[in-house]
Structure 1
Amino acid sequence: MGMVLGKITVETPKHEVLHTGAGYEIRRYPPCIAAEVTYDPKEMRGGDPDGGFTILANYIGALGKPQNTKPEKIAMTAPVITAGGEGESSENIAMTAPVITTTGAAAAAAAAEPEPVAMTAPVITEAQQTPGKVTMQFLLPSKYTKVEEAPRPTDERVVIREVAERKYGVVRFSGVAGDKTVKEKAEGLKAALEKDGYTVKGPFLLARYNPPFTLPPLRTNEVMIPVE
């Protein structure tokens, strides 16, 4: 019931607020461990743009037997993050769990006892240089501080990597994060950041903290732009 009403009960990424501007914050996030998968939505069943979610959910065991090599669950976190390029519309990605991409070494461990991994967030979906390709990423819970500590995936499409410290300009809003709304928020945030002397370092991210069945007025969304 709490999820329907917008209550966020899972772990969210720790961060430091460096500055509060006119309707936005500058935040610094420490290094973390992420799981990701790169895929072509057209190759997924029905051209599903969220198709990478199933791959990642299988890794953590959200949809059944976990496709990893250790008997340990990973707690779910929030938000889900979608990355879009300059001028691109954001992709509508439903609330997901940590996405992880593995190297071929995981295949050798496939016969080992699987480790149930609880869902985490954010999930990050990123437009790739290769046209049509999408990378979905989940940030794992903070208890994982090294790549070696995370359960090893048995699906070679899943990769686990370290995400370096990063700084973002962030604006928060409620409601449905549709393409038009997100684009307006991103453009407004970028203008405010540049006016205040910040240098934009890349495309915006869309962070969603609630599953899609949460009542729209109670949803928490954020547009995040990397800055220096």
Structure 2
Amino acid sequence: MKIAISILVSMLLIGCSTFGHSEVEIAPYTVLKTDEQQAIEVRRYEPMVLVSTSMAGDGRNSAFRKLFRYISGENEGAADIAMTAPVIMTGQPATAGTKIAMTAPVFMSGNSQQARMAFVMPKHFTLDSTPKPTNPDLKVEEVRDYTAAAIRFNGTLSRRNVQRYSEQLQAWIASNGYSAVSEPVEAGYNGPLTLPMLRRNEILIEVRNTID
């Protein structure tokens, strides 16, 4: 299954700070190849469970609120797991359920007309154990066999930066024995309070090794 998603963002991530430190769990991966000069890695991600929603209509902010409410308790969690601190978004209380920790990064689709945003579930969750969303706009899926080339940069996920680093990564892929099998997707690991120079941003492109 392919990821047609990208990663937001300069939005609120739990545990973020002005100086770039975050206690948020990172989606685990193994580095297969490194180009330190261009800050590029080829990574193979461990299986991931994603909970996603459409960004149609109100766009990123609306999608982020839906997903944040989901991890804050708007899910069909085990009845004996109490919510200790439900997050209330836009004046709407979350449904009682399991409170789920946030994992970085946040994935988003980019140029597709069916753009979606997704949260990566903590690694101990499986497709079967992930609490079912109570909001029908949310979808749960598992992603396996995901290998991607990633380029890392500081600053912001501005259109100019996204285009610049996407083109740089595409050129690297073409000259290093890989073929791209997805469109570039954005990746952001920090919240808006983090100084731009300390932010971790990435562009990811799913790849296939053409040499093997």
2 CA distance for matches of 1:118 and 1:193? 34
- The answer on whether the counterparts of 1:17 and 1:25 sit within 8 Å (CA) in structure 2 is yes
Q: Which amino acid aligns with 2:74?
A: Q
Identity of aligned pairs, percent? 29
Q: CA deviation at 1:159?
A: 1.2
1:128-149: CA deviation from partner (whole Å, max 9, x where unpaired):
75x3x321111100011x2111
- The answer on whether the counterparts of 1:72 and 1:151 sit within 8 Å (CA) in structure 2 is no
Please list every run of 5 or more consecutive structure 2 residues that lacks an aligned counterpart in the other structure. 1-14, 84-94
2:141 maps to which of 144, 148, 161: 161
1:46-105: CA deviation from partner (whole Å, max 9, x where unpaired):
xx43210111111111xxxx21122377xxxxxxxxxxxxxxxxxxxxxxxxxxxxxxxx
Residue in structure 2 matched with residue 121 of structure 1 by the alignment: 104
Residue in structure 1 matched with residue 10 of structure 2 by the alignment: none
Residue in structure 1 matched with residue 75 of structure 2 by the alignment: 68
Q: Which amino acid aligns with 1:56?
A: L
Q: Which amino acid aligns with 1:37?
A: T
1:37 maps to which of 31, 35, 53: 53
How many residue pairs get matched?
A: 178
Residue in structure 2 matched with residue 137 of structure 1 by the alignment: 118
Please list every run of 5 or more consecutive structure 1 residues that lacks an aligned counterpart in the other structure. 74-111
Q: Which amino acid aligns with 2:173?
A: L
2 CA distance for matches of 1:175 and 1:182? 11
1 CA distance for matches of 2:24 and 2:101? 11
2 CA distance for matches of 1:206 and 1:165? 19
Give the secondary-structure state (helix, strand or coil) at the position aligned to 1:189: helix
Residue in structure 2 matched with residue 25 of structure 1 by the alignment: 41
In the superposition, the TM-score normalised over structure 1's length comes to 0.72
Q: Which amino acid aligns with 1:142?
A: K
Residue in structure 1 matched with residue 179 of structure 2 by the alignment: 199
- The answer on whether the counterparts of 1:122 and 1:137 sit within 8 Å (CA) in structure 2 is no
Indicate whether 1:14 and 2:33 are aligned.
Answer: no
- The answer on whether the counterparts of 1:6 and 1:215 sit within 8 Å (CA) in structure 2 is yes
Superposed CA RMSD in Å reads 2.0
Q: Which amino acid aligns with 1:139?
A: V
Q: CA deviation at 1:16?
A: 0.9
In the superposition, the TM-score normalised over structure 2's length comes to 0.77
Q: Which amino acid aligns with 1:29?
A: Y
Indicate whether 1:49 and 2:65 are aligned.
Answer: no
Bigger RCO (CA 8 Å, 6+ sep): 2
Q: Which amino acid aligns with 2:71?
A: I
